[in-house]
Amino acid sequence: MNMHNPFDLPHADPKALAKALESLAARFGNRLVTSQAVREQHAHTMTWLKSQPPDAVVMAHETADIQDVVRICAANGVPVIAFGTGTSLEGQVNAPAGGVCIDLRDMNKVLAVHVEDLDCVIQPGITRKTLNEHLRDQGVFFPIDPGADASIGGMTATRASGTNAVRYGTMRDNVLALKVVRGDGEIITTGTRAKKSSAGYDLTHLFVGAEGTLGIISELTIKLRGIPETIAAASCSFETVKGACQATILAIQTGIPLARIELLNAAQVKAVNAYSKLILPETPLLLLEFHGSEVEVAEQTRRFGEIARECHGGSFEWTTRPEDRTRLWQARHDAYWAVRGLRPGAGVVATDVCVPISRLADCVTETEADLIGLNLLSPIVGHVGDGNFHCSLLCDVNDPDEMARADEFMHRLVERAQAMDGTCTGEHGIGQGKQKYLVSELGPEALDAMRALKRALDPQNIFNPGKIIPPA
Protein backbone atom coordinates (compact mmCIF):
# COMPACT_ATOMS: atom_id res chain seq x y z
CA MET A 1 0.00 0.00 0.00
CA ASN A 2 1.18 3.52 -0.80
CA MET A 3 1.17 5.17 2.60
CA HIS A 4 1.51 8.62 1.05
CA ASN A 5 -1.90 8.47 -0.58
CA PRO A 6 -4.54 10.05 1.68
CA PHE A 7 -7.28 8.08 -0.06
CA ASP A 8 -5.87 4.61 0.68
CA LEU A 9 -8.20 2.33 2.64
CA PRO A 10 -7.64 -1.04 4.38
CA HIS A 11 -7.77 -3.88 1.85
CA ALA A 12 -9.71 -7.10 2.16
CA ASP A 13 -8.14 -9.98 4.06
CA PRO A 14 -5.70 -11.67 1.62
CA LYS A 15 -7.22 -15.10 2.25
CA ALA A 16 -10.75 -13.79 1.66
CA LEU A 17 -9.59 -12.07 -1.53
CA ALA A 18 -7.91 -15.25 -2.77
CA LYS A 19 -11.08 -17.23 -2.06
CA ALA A 20 -13.20 -14.66 -3.95
CA LEU A 21 -10.85 -14.69 -6.95
CA GLU A 22 -10.90 -18.50 -7.00
CA SER A 23 -14.72 -18.50 -7.07
CA LEU A 24 -14.78 -15.78 -9.75
CA ALA A 25 -12.29 -17.71 -11.89
CA ALA A 26 -14.47 -20.81 -11.67
CA ARG A 27 -17.53 -18.77 -12.71
CA PHE A 28 -16.05 -16.49 -15.38
CA GLY A 29 -12.96 -18.25 -16.75
CA ASN A 30 -10.94 -15.91 -18.94
CA ARG A 31 -13.43 -13.10 -18.33
CA LEU A 32 -11.68 -12.67 -14.98
CA VAL A 33 -8.51 -10.68 -15.68
CA THR A 34 -5.75 -10.04 -13.15
CA SER A 35 -2.95 -8.70 -15.36
CA GLN A 36 -1.31 -5.50 -14.14
CA ALA A 37 -1.90 -3.63 -17.40
CA VAL A 38 -5.64 -4.31 -17.49
CA ARG A 39 -6.04 -3.49 -13.80
CA GLU A 40 -4.27 -0.17 -14.28
CA GLN A 41 -6.46 0.67 -17.28
CA HIS A 42 -9.47 0.36 -14.99
CA ALA A 43 -8.17 2.88 -12.50
CA HIS A 44 -6.99 5.63 -14.80
CA THR A 45 -7.99 9.06 -13.68
CA MET A 46 -7.89 12.38 -15.56
CA THR A 47 -6.81 14.27 -12.45
CA TRP A 48 -3.76 14.47 -10.22
CA LEU A 49 -5.29 11.82 -8.01
CA LYS A 50 -3.09 8.77 -7.87
CA SER A 51 -4.45 5.73 -9.71
CA GLN A 52 -5.44 2.85 -7.42
CA PRO A 53 -5.98 -0.33 -9.46
CA PRO A 54 -8.39 -3.09 -8.42
CA ASP A 55 -7.15 -6.61 -7.70
CA ALA A 56 -9.07 -8.03 -10.65
CA VAL A 57 -11.46 -7.12 -13.46
CA VAL A 58 -14.53 -9.09 -14.55
CA MET A 59 -15.98 -8.53 -18.01
CA ALA A 60 -19.75 -8.64 -17.52
CA HIS A 61 -22.05 -9.68 -20.37
CA GLU A 62 -25.43 -9.71 -18.64
CA THR A 63 -27.20 -8.84 -15.41
CA ALA A 64 -26.63 -12.33 -13.97
CA ASP A 65 -22.88 -11.69 -14.21
CA ILE A 66 -23.16 -8.57 -12.06
CA GLN A 67 -25.30 -10.47 -9.56
CA ASP A 68 -22.81 -13.31 -9.25
CA VAL A 69 -19.82 -10.96 -8.83
CA VAL A 70 -21.65 -9.08 -6.09
CA ARG A 71 -22.69 -12.29 -4.30
CA ILE A 72 -19.17 -13.74 -4.38
CA CYS A 73 -17.58 -10.47 -3.28
CA ALA A 74 -20.17 -9.90 -0.54
CA ALA A 75 -19.57 -13.39 0.84
CA ASN A 76 -15.86 -12.58 1.18
CA GLY A 77 -15.99 -8.90 2.14
CA VAL A 78 -14.32 -7.77 -1.09
CA PRO A 79 -15.11 -4.34 -2.66
CA VAL A 80 -16.88 -4.02 -6.03
CA ILE A 81 -16.34 -1.07 -8.39
CA ALA A 82 -18.42 -0.51 -11.53
CA PHE A 83 -16.62 0.69 -14.69
CA GLY A 84 -18.17 2.13 -17.87
CA THR A 85 -15.64 3.98 -20.02
CA GLY A 86 -13.57 5.57 -17.26
CA THR A 87 -14.15 9.19 -18.29
CA SER A 88 -15.01 10.39 -14.77
CA LEU A 89 -12.86 13.18 -13.38
CA GLU A 90 -12.74 12.84 -9.59
CA GLY A 91 -11.30 9.37 -9.05
CA GLN A 92 -14.68 7.58 -9.19
CA VAL A 93 -13.17 4.41 -10.73
CA ASN A 94 -10.23 4.16 -8.35
CA ALA A 95 -10.05 1.16 -6.03
CA PRO A 96 -8.59 2.56 -2.77
CA ALA A 97 -9.40 -0.68 -0.93
CA GLY A 98 -8.57 -2.96 -3.87
CA GLY A 99 -11.31 -5.35 -4.86
CA VAL A 100 -13.01 -6.37 -8.10
CA CYS A 101 -13.89 -4.03 -10.95
CA ILE A 102 -16.95 -4.96 -13.04
CA ASP A 103 -16.36 -3.79 -16.62
CA LEU A 104 -19.77 -3.12 -18.19
CA ARG A 105 -18.70 -2.15 -21.71
CA ASP A 106 -20.07 -5.39 -23.23
CA MET A 107 -23.48 -4.77 -21.68
CA ASN A 108 -24.23 -2.35 -24.48
CA LYS A 109 -27.55 -3.41 -25.96
CA VAL A 110 -30.63 -1.34 -26.73
CA LEU A 111 -33.35 -3.56 -25.23
CA ALA A 112 -36.42 -1.61 -26.41
CA VAL A 113 -37.28 1.67 -28.12
CA HIS A 114 -40.72 3.22 -27.69
CA VAL A 115 -40.73 6.05 -30.20
CA GLU A 116 -44.37 6.93 -29.56
CA ASP A 117 -43.62 7.34 -25.84
CA LEU A 118 -40.19 8.95 -26.34
CA ASP A 119 -38.30 6.49 -24.16
CA CYS A 120 -36.00 3.49 -24.46
CA VAL A 121 -34.63 0.69 -22.31
CA ILE A 122 -30.88 0.09 -22.44
CA GLN A 123 -28.00 -1.69 -20.77
CA PRO A 124 -25.54 0.48 -18.82
CA GLY A 125 -22.47 -0.02 -21.03
CA ILE A 126 -23.83 1.59 -24.21
CA THR A 127 -22.25 4.94 -24.98
CA ARG A 128 -24.24 8.03 -25.91
CA LYS A 129 -22.84 8.15 -29.46
CA THR A 130 -23.66 4.49 -30.11
CA LEU A 131 -27.14 4.97 -28.71
CA ASN A 132 -27.81 8.01 -30.89
CA GLU A 133 -26.54 6.22 -33.99
CA HIS A 134 -29.03 3.43 -33.21
CA LEU A 135 -31.88 5.92 -32.74
CA ARG A 136 -31.19 8.31 -35.62
CA ASP A 137 -33.30 6.51 -38.24
CA GLN A 138 -36.27 6.59 -35.87
CA GLY A 139 -36.27 10.38 -35.60
CA VAL A 140 -35.37 10.56 -31.92
CA PHE A 141 -32.20 11.14 -29.90
CA PHE A 142 -30.82 11.18 -26.38
CA PRO A 143 -29.78 14.78 -25.69
CA ILE A 144 -27.39 14.66 -22.72
CA ASP A 145 -23.90 15.42 -24.00
CA PRO A 146 -21.04 15.70 -21.49
CA GLY A 147 -18.49 15.88 -24.33
CA ALA A 148 -16.77 12.57 -23.72
CA ASP A 149 -18.35 9.49 -25.29
CA ALA A 150 -19.27 8.17 -21.89
CA SER A 151 -21.42 5.15 -21.07
CA ILE A 152 -25.01 5.96 -20.17
CA GLY A 153 -24.67 3.92 -16.97
CA GLY A 154 -21.62 5.96 -15.95
CA MET A 155 -23.39 9.20 -16.87
CA THR A 156 -26.27 8.17 -14.63
CA ALA A 157 -24.00 7.15 -11.77
CA THR A 158 -22.23 10.53 -11.85
CA ARG A 159 -25.37 12.58 -12.59
CA ALA A 160 -23.71 13.99 -15.71
CA SER A 161 -25.00 16.92 -17.73
CA GLY A 162 -23.02 18.80 -20.37
CA THR A 163 -23.63 21.24 -23.16
CA ASN A 164 -27.35 20.57 -23.78
CA ALA A 165 -28.44 20.87 -20.16
CA VAL A 166 -29.88 24.37 -20.49
CA ARG A 167 -32.70 23.01 -22.69
CA TYR A 168 -32.87 19.28 -21.99
CA GLY A 169 -31.79 19.08 -18.36
CA THR A 170 -29.27 16.70 -16.82
CA MET A 171 -29.26 12.95 -16.27
CA ARG A 172 -31.38 13.57 -13.19
CA ASP A 173 -34.16 14.84 -15.47
CA ASN A 174 -33.87 12.13 -18.12
CA VAL A 175 -33.83 8.81 -16.23
CA LEU A 176 -37.28 7.28 -15.72
CA ALA A 177 -36.37 4.00 -14.04
CA LEU A 178 -33.46 1.75 -13.13
CA LYS A 179 -32.72 -1.83 -12.27
CA VAL A 180 -29.99 -1.94 -9.65
CA VAL A 181 -28.12 -4.91 -8.19
CA ARG A 182 -28.07 -4.51 -4.43
CA GLY A 183 -25.59 -5.84 -1.86
CA ASP A 184 -27.06 -9.36 -1.67
CA GLY A 185 -27.16 -9.74 -5.46
CA GLU A 186 -30.92 -9.21 -5.74
CA ILE A 187 -32.38 -6.60 -8.08
CA ILE A 188 -34.14 -3.39 -7.08
CA THR A 189 -36.61 -1.97 -9.62
CA THR A 190 -36.91 1.77 -9.00
CA GLY A 191 -39.78 2.75 -11.30
CA THR A 192 -41.72 2.21 -14.51
CA ARG A 193 -41.95 3.81 -17.97
CA ALA A 194 -44.60 6.23 -16.75
CA LYS A 195 -43.50 9.86 -17.09
CA LYS A 196 -44.47 10.63 -13.52
CA SER A 197 -45.25 8.69 -10.37
CA SER A 198 -46.09 9.26 -6.72
CA ALA A 199 -45.48 5.63 -5.77
CA GLY A 200 -43.28 5.65 -2.69
CA TYR A 201 -39.76 6.97 -2.19
CA ASP A 202 -37.97 8.28 -5.27
CA LEU A 203 -35.47 5.45 -5.52
CA THR A 204 -34.56 6.28 -9.13
CA HIS A 205 -33.02 9.60 -8.19
CA LEU A 206 -31.36 8.12 -5.13
CA PHE A 207 -29.16 6.05 -7.44
CA VAL A 208 -28.68 8.81 -10.04
CA GLY A 209 -25.47 10.45 -8.86
CA ALA A 210 -24.63 7.82 -6.24
CA GLU A 211 -21.39 6.97 -8.13
CA GLY A 212 -21.90 3.23 -7.65
CA THR A 213 -21.74 3.50 -3.86
CA LEU A 214 -25.24 2.08 -3.24
CA GLY A 215 -25.54 -0.60 -5.92
CA ILE A 216 -24.67 -1.44 -9.53
CA ILE A 217 -26.97 -0.20 -12.31
CA SER A 218 -27.84 -3.09 -14.66
CA GLU A 219 -30.62 -1.56 -16.79
CA LEU A 220 -31.96 1.93 -17.50
CA THR A 221 -35.15 3.43 -18.90
CA ILE A 222 -34.39 6.90 -20.24
CA LYS A 223 -36.26 9.73 -21.96
CA LEU A 224 -35.76 10.53 -25.65
CA ARG A 225 -36.48 13.67 -27.66
CA GLY A 226 -37.50 14.26 -31.25
CA ILE A 227 -34.65 15.28 -33.57
CA PRO A 228 -35.23 18.97 -34.30
CA GLU A 229 -36.27 19.99 -37.81
CA THR A 230 -33.60 22.71 -37.87
CA ILE A 231 -30.42 23.11 -35.82
CA ALA A 232 -28.33 26.29 -35.95
CA ALA A 233 -24.93 26.81 -34.34
CA ALA A 234 -23.67 30.30 -33.61
CA SER A 235 -20.72 32.17 -32.18
CA CYS A 236 -20.43 35.65 -30.74
CA SER A 237 -17.34 37.36 -29.30
CA PHE A 238 -17.43 39.83 -26.42
CA GLU A 239 -14.99 42.34 -25.00
CA THR A 240 -15.41 40.98 -21.49
CA VAL A 241 -16.59 37.87 -19.67
CA LYS A 242 -19.14 40.08 -17.92
CA GLY A 243 -20.69 41.09 -21.26
CA ALA A 244 -20.97 37.43 -22.36
CA CYS A 245 -22.59 36.47 -19.06
CA GLN A 246 -25.03 39.39 -19.24
CA ALA A 247 -26.10 38.28 -22.72
CA THR A 248 -26.64 34.75 -21.39
CA ILE A 249 -28.75 35.96 -18.48
CA LEU A 250 -30.90 38.21 -20.69
CA ALA A 251 -31.44 35.41 -23.23
CA ILE A 252 -32.66 33.02 -20.55
CA GLN A 253 -34.77 35.62 -18.74
CA THR A 254 -36.52 36.59 -22.00
CA GLY A 255 -37.39 32.98 -22.70
CA ILE A 256 -35.23 32.18 -25.73
CA PRO A 257 -35.21 28.34 -25.74
CA LEU A 258 -31.45 27.93 -26.14
CA ALA A 259 -30.30 24.35 -26.64
CA ARG A 260 -26.69 25.10 -25.76
CA ILE A 261 -24.79 28.17 -24.64
CA GLU A 262 -21.11 27.80 -23.84
CA LEU A 263 -18.62 30.38 -22.63
CA LEU A 264 -14.92 30.22 -23.53
CA ASN A 265 -12.62 32.78 -21.96
CA ALA A 266 -9.79 34.36 -23.97
CA ALA A 267 -7.23 31.73 -22.89
CA GLN A 268 -9.55 28.90 -23.92
CA VAL A 269 -10.26 30.50 -27.33
CA LYS A 270 -6.52 30.81 -27.93
CA ALA A 271 -6.10 27.10 -27.13
CA VAL A 272 -9.03 26.09 -29.37
CA ASN A 273 -7.73 28.17 -32.29
CA ALA A 274 -4.33 26.50 -32.12
CA TYR A 275 -5.64 22.95 -31.69
CA SER A 276 -8.65 23.01 -34.03
CA LYS A 277 -7.15 25.42 -36.59
CA LEU A 278 -9.85 28.06 -36.18
CA ILE A 279 -9.53 31.85 -36.44
CA LEU A 280 -11.92 32.98 -33.71
CA PRO A 281 -11.18 36.38 -32.09
CA GLU A 282 -9.17 35.66 -28.93
CA THR A 283 -11.58 37.37 -26.57
CA PRO A 284 -14.41 35.88 -24.45
CA LEU A 285 -16.66 33.86 -26.74
CA LEU A 286 -20.16 32.39 -26.59
CA LEU A 287 -20.97 29.29 -28.62
CA LEU A 288 -24.69 28.67 -29.02
CA GLU A 289 -27.11 26.21 -30.55
CA PHE A 290 -30.78 26.70 -31.40
CA HIS A 291 -33.29 23.87 -32.05
CA GLY A 292 -36.76 24.00 -33.59
CA SER A 293 -38.56 24.59 -36.87
CA GLU A 294 -36.90 26.73 -39.52
CA VAL A 295 -39.07 29.71 -38.54
CA GLU A 296 -38.45 29.20 -34.80
CA VAL A 297 -34.68 28.95 -35.20
CA ALA A 298 -34.57 32.07 -37.38
CA GLU A 299 -36.54 33.98 -34.72
CA GLN A 300 -34.34 32.67 -31.88
CA THR A 301 -31.14 33.72 -33.64
CA ARG A 302 -32.59 37.15 -34.46
CA ARG A 303 -33.56 37.78 -30.84
CA PHE A 304 -30.22 36.65 -29.49
CA GLY A 305 -28.38 38.83 -32.01
CA GLU A 306 -30.24 41.85 -30.62
CA ILE A 307 -29.32 40.90 -27.05
CA ALA A 308 -25.66 40.40 -28.02
CA ARG A 309 -25.53 43.92 -29.49
CA GLU A 310 -27.05 45.35 -26.28
CA CYS A 311 -24.25 43.65 -24.32
CA HIS A 312 -21.49 45.00 -26.59
CA GLY A 313 -20.98 41.72 -28.40
CA GLY A 314 -19.02 41.58 -31.63
CA SER A 315 -20.10 39.89 -34.84
CA PHE A 316 -22.83 37.28 -34.31
CA GLU A 317 -22.50 34.51 -36.88
CA TRP A 318 -24.72 31.46 -37.24
CA THR A 319 -25.05 28.50 -39.58
CA THR A 320 -27.31 25.52 -40.16
CA ARG A 321 -24.75 23.63 -42.30
CA PRO A 322 -24.13 20.29 -40.51
CA GLU A 323 -20.42 20.25 -41.31
CA ASP A 324 -19.91 23.77 -39.91
CA ARG A 325 -21.91 22.95 -36.79
CA THR A 326 -19.95 19.76 -36.24
CA ARG A 327 -16.63 21.56 -36.63
CA LEU A 328 -17.59 24.24 -34.11
CA TRP A 329 -18.84 21.82 -31.46
CA GLN A 330 -16.00 19.39 -32.03
CA ALA A 331 -13.65 22.25 -31.24
CA ARG A 332 -15.57 22.79 -27.98
CA HIS A 333 -15.48 19.09 -27.12
CA ASP A 334 -11.73 19.01 -27.82
CA ALA A 335 -11.17 21.81 -25.30
CA TYR A 336 -9.30 19.52 -22.88
CA TRP A 337 -6.82 18.40 -25.54
CA ALA A 338 -6.51 21.98 -26.78
CA VAL A 339 -5.57 23.10 -23.29
CA ARG A 340 -2.79 20.51 -23.11
CA GLY A 341 -1.23 22.12 -26.17
CA LEU A 342 -0.75 25.43 -24.34
CA ARG A 343 1.91 23.88 -22.11
CA PRO A 344 3.18 20.55 -23.44
CA GLY A 345 4.32 18.16 -20.74
CA ALA A 346 2.35 19.87 -17.99
CA GLY A 347 -0.18 18.07 -15.84
CA VAL A 348 -3.80 19.06 -16.40
CA VAL A 349 -6.61 18.87 -13.90
CA ALA A 350 -10.16 19.86 -14.75
CA THR A 351 -12.36 21.09 -11.93
CA ASP A 352 -15.78 22.67 -11.94
CA VAL A 353 -18.18 24.72 -9.84
CA CYS A 354 -21.72 25.95 -10.41
CA VAL A 355 -23.41 29.15 -9.19
CA PRO A 356 -26.76 30.85 -9.81
CA ILE A 357 -26.44 32.50 -13.22
CA SER A 358 -26.93 35.94 -11.64
CA ARG A 359 -23.55 35.43 -9.92
CA LEU A 360 -21.78 33.81 -12.86
CA ALA A 361 -20.03 36.92 -14.19
CA ASP A 362 -18.74 37.79 -10.72
CA CYS A 363 -17.53 34.25 -10.10
CA VAL A 364 -15.70 33.90 -13.42
CA THR A 365 -14.18 37.42 -13.21
CA GLU A 366 -12.93 36.84 -9.65
CA THR A 367 -11.57 33.44 -10.68
CA GLU A 368 -9.61 34.96 -13.59
CA ALA A 369 -8.15 37.58 -11.21
CA ASP A 370 -7.20 34.84 -8.75
CA LEU A 371 -5.34 32.94 -11.48
CA ILE A 372 -3.33 36.06 -12.33
CA GLY A 373 -2.58 36.69 -8.64
CA LEU A 374 -1.37 33.12 -8.13
CA ASN A 375 0.55 33.10 -11.47
CA LEU A 376 -1.33 30.05 -12.75
CA LEU A 377 -2.55 29.12 -16.23
CA SER A 378 -6.08 27.77 -16.42
CA PRO A 379 -8.38 28.35 -19.39
CA ILE A 380 -12.07 28.55 -18.48
CA VAL A 381 -15.03 27.03 -20.30
CA GLY A 382 -18.56 27.00 -19.02
CA HIS A 383 -22.06 25.70 -19.54
CA VAL A 384 -23.18 29.18 -18.73
CA GLY A 385 -26.89 28.56 -19.29
CA ASP A 386 -26.97 26.88 -15.91
CA GLY A 387 -24.12 28.74 -14.20
CA ASN A 388 -21.58 25.92 -14.48
CA PHE A 389 -17.97 26.48 -15.52
CA HIS A 390 -14.76 24.47 -15.67
CA CYS A 391 -11.14 25.37 -15.04
CA SER A 392 -8.34 23.32 -16.60
CA LEU A 393 -5.21 23.95 -14.55
CA LEU A 394 -1.85 23.40 -16.26
CA CYS A 395 0.93 22.75 -13.77
CA ASP A 396 4.39 21.27 -13.46
CA VAL A 397 3.55 18.37 -11.17
CA ASN A 398 7.20 18.18 -10.07
CA ASP A 399 7.23 21.78 -8.80
CA PRO A 400 6.04 21.75 -5.16
CA ASP A 401 5.49 25.52 -5.09
CA GLU A 402 3.36 25.50 -8.23
CA MET A 403 1.34 22.52 -7.01
CA ALA A 404 0.75 24.27 -3.66
CA ARG A 405 -0.57 27.35 -5.51
CA ALA A 406 -2.78 25.12 -7.66
CA ASP A 407 -4.23 23.46 -4.56
CA GLU A 408 -4.83 26.88 -3.01
CA PHE A 409 -6.57 28.04 -6.18
CA MET A 410 -8.93 25.06 -6.29
CA HIS A 411 -9.81 25.49 -2.63
CA ARG A 412 -10.53 29.20 -3.11
CA LEU A 413 -12.60 28.46 -6.22
CA VAL A 414 -14.88 26.17 -4.22
CA GLU A 415 -15.13 28.65 -1.34
CA ARG A 416 -16.00 31.42 -3.82
CA ALA A 417 -18.76 29.33 -5.44
CA GLN A 418 -20.22 28.22 -2.11
CA ALA A 419 -20.22 31.81 -0.82
CA MET A 420 -22.34 32.71 -3.88
CA ASP A 421 -24.92 30.03 -3.00
CA GLY A 422 -23.32 27.65 -5.49
CA THR A 423 -21.84 24.17 -5.35
CA CYS A 424 -18.37 22.63 -5.32
CA THR A 425 -19.25 20.56 -8.41
CA GLY A 426 -21.84 21.12 -11.10
CA GLU A 427 -21.23 17.88 -12.96
CA HIS A 428 -17.86 16.24 -12.18
CA GLY A 429 -19.20 14.67 -9.00
CA ILE A 430 -17.51 14.15 -5.65
CA GLY A 431 -15.57 10.89 -6.05
CA GLN A 432 -12.45 11.19 -3.97
CA GLY A 433 -11.29 14.66 -4.87
CA LYS A 434 -14.12 16.80 -3.50
CA GLN A 435 -15.18 14.91 -0.38
CA LYS A 436 -13.66 17.57 1.83
CA TYR A 437 -16.15 20.18 0.61
CA LEU A 438 -19.38 18.33 1.35
CA VAL A 439 -19.63 19.32 5.01
CA SER A 440 -19.27 23.02 4.26
CA GLU A 441 -21.80 22.79 1.43
CA LEU A 442 -24.53 20.63 2.96
CA GLY A 443 -23.79 20.49 6.69
CA PRO A 444 -23.09 17.53 9.01
CA GLU A 445 -26.76 16.59 9.27
CA ALA A 446 -26.99 15.91 5.53
CA LEU A 447 -23.84 13.80 5.67
CA ASP A 448 -25.29 11.84 8.57
CA ALA A 449 -28.33 11.10 6.40
CA MET A 450 -26.07 9.97 3.53
CA ARG A 451 -24.12 7.69 5.86
CA ALA A 452 -27.39 6.17 7.13
CA LEU A 453 -28.50 5.47 3.55
CA LYS A 454 -25.13 3.94 2.74
CA ARG A 455 -25.29 1.65 5.82
CA ALA A 456 -28.86 0.61 5.00
CA LEU A 457 -28.23 -0.28 1.35
CA ASP A 458 -24.61 -1.41 1.61
CA PRO A 459 -24.04 -2.61 5.20
CA GLN A 460 -20.73 -4.26 4.27
CA ASN A 461 -19.45 -1.14 2.48
CA ILE A 462 -18.44 -3.14 -0.59
CA PHE A 463 -19.85 -0.80 -3.26
CA ASN A 464 -17.15 1.65 -4.40
CA PRO A 465 -15.83 2.42 -0.91
CA GLY A 466 -14.00 5.67 -0.26
CA LYS A 467 -16.16 7.76 -2.61
CA ILE A 468 -18.52 10.67 -1.96
CA ILE A 469 -18.88 10.42 1.81
CA PRO A 470 -15.85 11.62 3.78
CA PRO A 471 -14.75 9.63 6.83
CA ALA A 472 -16.79 10.51 9.92
5-14, 50-59, 193-202, 409-418: which range is least confident on average?
5-14
Cα 108 from Cα 7, distance rounded (Å): 32
Of 339, 409, 407, 334, give the one whose Cα is nearest residue 369: 409
Contacting residues for 279 by C-beta, under 8 A, at least 6 apart? 273
State the pLDDT confidence band at 1, using cuts at 50, 70 and 90: very low
Does this model's pTM top 0.85? My answer is yes
pLDDT for position 337:
87
Burial 391-427 (b: 16+ CB within 10 A, else e): bbbbbeeeeeebbebbeebbeebbebbbebebbbbbb
Burial 302-335 (b: 16+ CB within 10 A, else e): ebbbebbeebebbebebbeeeeebeebbebbbbb
Residue-wise pLDDT for 124-157, tens only, equals 999 999 999 999 999 999 999 887 889 999 999 9
Q: Is 311 helix (H, G, I), strand (E, B) or coil?
A: coil
Residue-wise pLDDT for 435-455, tens only, equals 999 999 999 999 999 999 999
Question: What separation in angstroms does the CA of 307 have from each of 233, 251, 269, 293, 302?
Answer: 16, 7, 22, 21, 9
Query: What DSSP assignment string belongs to 317-352?
Result: EEE--HHHHHHHHHHHHTHHHHHHHHSTT-EEEEEE
Cα 372 from Cα 120, distance rounded (Å): 48
Average per-residue pLDDT for the chain: 94
Residue-wise pLDDT for 306-364, tens only, equals 999 999 999 888 899 999 888 888 888 888 889 999 999 998 888 999 999 899 999 99
pLDDT for position 4:
57
Higher-scoring residue by pLDDT: 57, 316: 57
pLDDT for position 172:
95
- Map out the domains of the chain as residue ranges: 14-105, 110-226, 230-335
- Please measure the distance between the N-terminal and C-terminal CA atoms of the chain and give it in whole angstroms: 22
- Residue 248 and residue 261 in contact, taking contact as beta carbons nearer than 8 Å: yes
Cα 200 from Cα 86, distance rounded (Å): 33
- Residue 338 and residue 274 in contact, taking contact as beta carbons nearer than 8 Å: yes
- Residue 421 and residue 452 in contact, taking contact as beta carbons nearer than 8 Å: no
Percent of the chain, pLDDT > 70?
99
The CATH architecture one would assign to domain 230-335 is: 2-Layer Sandwich (3.30)
Residue-wise pLDDT for 381-428, tens only, equals 988 888 999 999 999 989 999 999 999 999 999 999 999 999 999 999
CATH topology of domain 110-226: 3.30.465
For domain 14-105, the question of CATH label 3.30.43.10 is answered with yes
pLDDT for position 291:
95
